[in-house]
Amino acid sequence: MATILTVDDTASMRQMISFTLNSVGHEVLQASDGREALNILQNKKVDLVITDVNMPNMDGITFVKSLRELNDYKFTPILMLTTESQDTKRQQGKVAGATGWIVKPFNPEQLLTVVKKVLG
């Protein structure tokens, strides 16, 4: 099973994502914003990142750009999980290097399917 990092400033969202992914045996790490996520990723290699877009300190788009600049994470799948659904935001995410875009609220089965797909 994979190691997955979830980044969201809302604790209950992180709990729901962890709960869903833990149920199929994935190891889940949590961060409350982009900056904290980058600190975690310096010490630990993960297989997948699921991040919110609008967060304090460092937003999701900036976080994805920063992550893609790291050699270890050039090809790691990154899913954006956000309330944002506008095409402009999607395009920003795509340009920044995100692998996929999921609009909140997520369906647990749907999330697991997408995670399985991007993990190969």
Partner 1 sequence: MPRWWLWAMGGLFATWLWAVPFVPWWVALGSGLCAMLTLTVLAFYARQHSNQDDISAVLPPSEDESQEVFEQVDALMSHSKDIEHIPQVEEVLESMAQDNQRRRLDDLMRRWVDVAQRYSEAALVLRREIYSVIKQTEQAANTIASSFEAVINKATIQARQAMELLEGTQGATSDDGTPQSLKDFIQVSDERLNKMADEVVRVADLSVNMVRELDGVQTRTQAIDGFLLDVEKLADQTSLLALNADIEAARVGEHGRGFSVVAQEVRRLSQRSHEFSDRIRQHLKEVRSGLSRTYGNMRTLSAADMEHALTIKEDVISLTRSLEGKNREVAETVSRINEISKEIAQDVRNVVISLQFHDITSQKLSGMLEPMDELRRTLYHLMQETVSLDKNLLKNLPKNERWLSRLQEETLPAPEIEPPKEPARKESTPEPPRLREATDNGPAVELF
Q: Which residues bind partner 1 (CB under 8 A)?
A: 8-13, 15-16, 19-20, 53-56, 82-87, 90, 93-94, 98-110, 114, 117-118
Partners of 99 in beta bridges: none
- Quote the CA–CA distance of 113 and 107 in Å, as a whole number: 10
CB of 10 to partner 1, least distance (A): 4
- Longest Cα–Cα distance of the chain, Å, equals 35
- Quote the CA–CA distance of 51 and 81 in Å, as a whole number: 6
| Token pair in block for residue 103 | 């609009």
Q: Which is nearer to partner 1, 65 or 104 (CB)?
A: 104
Q: Which is nearer to partner 1, 35 or 90 (CB)?
A: 90
CB of 99 to partner 1, least distance (A): 6
